[in-house]
Amino acid sequence: METIILGGGCFWCTEAVFKEVKGVTDVESGYTGGAQPNPTYEQICTGTTGHAEVVKLTFDPTVVSYRELLEIFFTIHDPTTPNRQGNDVGTQYRSVIYYNSQEQKDIAKQVMCEMALVWDAPIVTELSPVEAYFKAEDYHQDYFENHPLQGYCAFVVAPKVAKFRQSFAERAKA
């Protein structure tokens, strides 16, 4: 098993999508990229901690590759908007890939170059080594699964999950 940590806006969205991917065995919402140890959601929302909302994925590379996960990542969020995804604005919503090895870094750079040809605006996704990671509060875990009719989930998360299912049908769990 391998891990990858990704930030692509609200972690409820990225968590909901990656829970649907064949080969992903665990998805956990959390925070990383800042200096404050054990931050709370309320602290993250101030934009002063330096942390991003992220998801930590555990995956089986014999079923889904690191590259494939990054291709999904670049499809389900807008990597051209700094510190923003839709109406979610702030440094905690930045696009970021945290890598665990030189190989992951090299693959991420390749995918970012390929994605630069797909998007009309420049890619602003940060590429950083894994830093201290902090699991988000329990009420953030499996949020979409537990609250599918909540307004944000219905109007923001659900369309991202639908886009994944349409764009990557062969990668979706049954």
φ/ψ bin of 139: left (φ > 0), alpha (ψ from -120 to 50), beta (otherwise):
alpha
Q: Are 76 and 159 in contact (CB under 8 A)?
A: no
CA pair distance 8, 70, nearest whole angstrom: 11
CA pair distance 8, 79, nearest whole angstrom: 8
10 is catalytic: yes
Catalytic position from the list 10, 45, 113, 153: 10
CA pair distance 49, 52, nearest whole angstrom: 9
Active site residues: 10
